[in-house]
Each structure stands twice: as C-alpha cells, then as structure tokens.
C-alpha cells in the first residue's frame, strides 16, 4: 500500500491526480471493485503469486478499455 501512496503523491505533484486512480485488489479474487474500463492496469510484482494466472489475465483483459494495457 505504501507504493500506491507514493504513486498518488507523484501524480499530484505532476498535476495528474485527476487522471490516476490507485486500487489495491486481490487479482485471485472475483469480487474486484468496480474499475470501469481502465486504460492501464498495473499489477506490480504479482504475477508469480497468482493461484490461477490464466483466469486473472483474462479477467483483466476483458475489463480493459479498447487498446488498454496490462503491465
């Protein structure tokens, strides 16, 4: 959660606070918060911890905006 706070602080310092939303969620869960259709989903150092990476990758892909990026 500390890295999310740093990201929010950096976005604010650069005048981008209205364009950056941080969400802490369990990618293995199926009850994610409503994310809408994000342009970018960043899953920092988490892929190797997922119980079912294929399911999580498909779920993220399905919710991304057209042309969105999962990194």
Model confidence pLDDT, tens digit, residues 20-64:
999 888 888 888 888 889 999 888 788 888 999 899 889 889 999
pLDDT at 9 over 90: yes
Nearest to 64 by CA among 42, 43, 38: 38
Region 7-15: mean pLDDT is 95
Is residue 65 predicted with pLDDT exceeding 90? yes
Boundaries of every domain in the chain:
23-71
Backbone angles phi, psi at 41, to 5 degrees: -120, 125
């Amino acid at each position: 959660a500390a890295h999310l706070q740093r990201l929010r602080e950096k976005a604010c310092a650069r005048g981008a606070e209205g364009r950056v939303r941080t969400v802490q969620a369990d990618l293995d869960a199926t009850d994610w918060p409503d994310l809408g259709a994000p342009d970018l989903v960043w899953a920092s150092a988490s892929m190797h911890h997922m119980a079912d990476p294929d399911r999580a990758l498909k779920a993220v892909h399905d919710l991304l905006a057209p042309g969105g990026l999962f990194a």
